[in-house]
Structure 1
């Protein structure tokens, strides 16, 4: 692993980062994503990212949230980790997905309809281990909070492949 990436992981594991990052990273990502018409997500330079559009749990309005994600290449799904940078409460987007699992992501400039499913039990445990291998700072985030960090698997609605092409039909 490159020295630069280890440094980024170390910094992102700190409490100070957890206090300030939720205020500037999403705002920066939303602005750059909008200005580039969905072609650039700055945080995706470190980790893959999506812009999640989910229906607000209370408001019923569309809510756009830039998020790091873990693409699951073999399945064409995405894993979202509700870490909230190791802060005490669950991030609002997780409540939105619990209330309204049908959502949309913008992945590499393409809008993709998805259905979110909260992972529990053995399925969550397996996905959590994969998430820790993918981004080790999640372990520090979990240690700082009393809640279990929510994990969601996003599955594409419809019959398109992860690159946007139509997937072959199976019988």
Structure 2
């Protein structure tokens, strides 16, 4: 597996965030065109600073489901560590912005939600196969 390039990922995400906000909550170019996309703003676990990350999601009733895949790399993404430390987050979904509470799911719910998202976005199965860690699944509920 190639080395995770933090700088390249940050630059890509910044462009995607800009595009999302300029186009009413949608990606209009690149790999996320027509994908269900949200912006997750977490509070840094160590720094206390806000960090915004674009993520794909699915729904489970009224709940929003996100997966901490980091593309199948061996470590969890920074935003996951931030949510563990500060579970209250800000979500941008389309043109709407609201606060939500994050809950890290446990099996069997974790597996059910992972499978549901992987059914819509099969690359998540590839990410799980690429790593030995169990990829976390997080539920976001509007506050």
Q: Against the structure 1 CA distance between its residues 69 and 99, is the aligned structure 2 distance closer, same or farther, given a 3 Å change threshold?
A: same
In 2, the alpha carbon distance for the partners of 1:48 and 1:22 equals: 19
TM-score when normalising by structure 1:
0.72
1:77 alignment partner in structure 2: 63
**Which 4+ runs in 1 deviate beyond 6 A?**
18-21
TM-score, reference length from structure 2: 0.86
Q: Which residue, 101, 118, 139 being the options, matches 1:115? A: 101
Cross-structure match for 1:88: 74
Structure label with greater radius of gyration: 1
- Structure 1 residues 1-171: aligned runs within 5 Å: 22=9, 25-34=12-21, 36=22, 39-42=24-27, 44-72=32-60, 75-157=61-143
Give the structure with the larger helix fraction. 1
- In the alignment, structure 1 segments of 5+ residues that lack a partner are 1-14, 158-171
Aligned residues: 138
Check whether the contact 1:22–1:84 (CA below 8 A) recurs between aligned residues.
no
What are the Cα deviations for residues 18-65 of structure 1, in whole angstroms up to 9, with x where unaligned? 87983554132122234x1x6143165231011111111111111111
Stretches of structure 2 that go unaligned for 5 or more consecutive residues are: none
Distance 1:19 1:137 in 2: 19
RMSD over equivalenced CA pairs, Å: 2.2
